Structure 1
Amino acid sequence: MDDRQQLSALVSRLGRWLDDKSPGDGRALFTEDAEAHTLGGVSQGVDALVAQARRNHQVPTQHFITDPLVDVDGDRAEVSANLLVVFAHEGGPRLLGERYELEAARTRDGWRISRVQARAVWDVELA
């Protein structure tokens, strides 16, 4: 698998990890110093990032991540992708359209996400 395929798979694993309620310690996805900037808050360090993901994904979710654009520069990469998240609240679903701007670093264990920036495009609650 080439770098672009590996990075696209990493982004897909991020969505699945969030839907599975953030199992494990996140080190298979993130660098130790990873940071996240999302509607759910800002965190720095893999442990804080995992805690933020768990706090913000308590209801059933489904992440649809599409159209990844990957730019590799040696051991660093940037990935932009569209994101549709469905939060299945009891009172009705919330749909959130976002743009992911991710940074990744090649580590001895493979590619890992070093920065997550989620920019809201639209948000709808169907109650």
Structure 2
Amino acid sequence: MDNDELIELVGRLGRWLDDKRFDDAHAVFTEDAEVTTPGGTSRGADALAVQARRNHTVPTQHFITNPLIEVDGDRAAIDANLLVVFAHDGGPRVLGERYALEAARTPDGWRISRVRSSVVWELQNA
């Protein structure tokens, strides 16, 4: 059951970004979540929502695949592949990344407590 909930949480992360639902950060992240991406580092759900809003000004589509999940009580580690397309007017920017996520079980369900993404490859104006 935990694995299913964690896979859904990863899906909600992608939809949160693509649908630009930045005001709903607490539905995806813990209050003290930390995020480090090519767009910067932020700590706290409200601060990372500001970072996401700043870095996702064009339409995007996040494909998060092949999650490998390790649950340890109320904590979980999730490694996954990420393909993200930023649909710029001059042509799309496409990134292939690796996600290293951590999640915590909260009274409201699983929430992401840490995100680390590392770029594996990038195409500009693909």
TM range (shorter): over 0.9
SS, match of residue 23 in structure 2: coil
Superposed CA RMSD: 0.9
1:53 aligns with 2:52: yes
Residue segments in structure 2 that go unaligned for 5+ positions in a row: none
Instruction: Confirm or deny: 8 A CA contact 1:25 1:47 kept in the other structure.
Output: no
Moved over 2 A (4+): 22-25
Letter in 1 for 2:114: R
Residue segments in structure 1 that go unaligned for 5+ positions in a row: none
Counterpart in the other structure of 1:104: 103
Higher relative helix content = 2
Q: CA deviation at 1:126?
A: 1.6
1:1-127 → structure 2 map (5 Å cutoff): 2-126=1-125
Following the alignment from structure 2 to structure 1, what is the Cα–Cα distance between the partners of residues 104 and 58?
30
Instruction: Confirm or deny: 8 A CA contact 1:103 1:113 kept in the other structure.
Output: yes
Following the alignment from structure 1 to structure 2, what is the Cα–Cα distance between the partners of residues 12 and 93?
22
Q: How many residues align?
A: 126
Identity, % of aligned pairs?
A: 68
| CA deviations over 1:11-70 (Å, ceiling 9, x no partner) | 011001100113423101000000000000000001101000111000000000000001
